Structure 1
Amino acid sequence: MAAVLRQGPLLSRIAAAAFGGYALGALFSVALVALPGETAGNVLWGMLGSFLVWSMAVLWVFAASSASKAWWGLGCAALALLPFAVVVWSA
């Protein structure tokens, strides 16, 4: 039981990197569609940029000083992208 509790922060970071990074990349991809310009180009740049955003999120998660700060940082970044994604989803 103690070994599982000791591995908790690491498992939390792995979950944050995998699921939180994916969610942040998906939000970024959708948010770029809200930008003015050609929709097909925005979709392409959103898809390409989502890989960069996901990679940076993974780096951020493992560079943060604690697992809670990693989740907090991902949440703040997601909240910043959410209004743009809502514009696309409501259209």
Structure 2
Amino acid sequence: MNRRISIAARIAAGTAGGYGVAALVAVAVACWWPADRAQASVAGTLAALLAWPAIVMACFHAGSATRAWAGLGGTAIVLLAAAMGAGWRP
């Protein structure tokens, strides 16, 4: 893959894919947080704000853009399963 296309794909993975996975982090944490709904929402949002930069860095640390997208997809599936296991329905 061309180097510029690879970098553009990683940027897309870090921004768009990272945002999606961070949103799923917020949902999963909020669903599993053992407190009332308001505190769970705040905890989920704070966890997502911490996760997003880590996800972006992981996308650029991956060996290729394909691995970055595969990692995002796998993480999204795990988080979606965790949220749905706690009773969340999209």
Same fold (TM over 0.5): yes
Q: Distance in 2 between matches of 1:34 and 1:58?
A: 24
Deviation at 1:39, TM superposition (A): 1.3
Distance 2:65 2:79 in 1: 21
Percent identity of paired positions between Structure 1 and Structure 2 = 37
Residue range with higher mean Cα deviation, 35-44 or 7-16: 35-44
Of residues 46, 67, 70, the one that matches 2:68 is: 70
**Partner in structure 2 of residue 48 of structure 1:** 46
Which shows bigger deviation, 80-89 or 38-47? 80-89
Specify every segment of 5 or more residues in structure 2 that has no aligned partner in the other structure, as ranges: none
Q: How many correspondences in the alignment?
A: 86
Provide the aligned C-alpha RMSD in A. Answer: 1.4
| Superposition TM-score, scaled by structure 1 size | 0.85
Q: Judge conservation of contact 1:22–1:54 (CA < 8 Å) in 2.
A: yes
Contact 1:25-1:50 within 8 A present in 2 as well: yes
| Structure 1 unaligned blocks of 5 or more | none
Larger Rg: 1
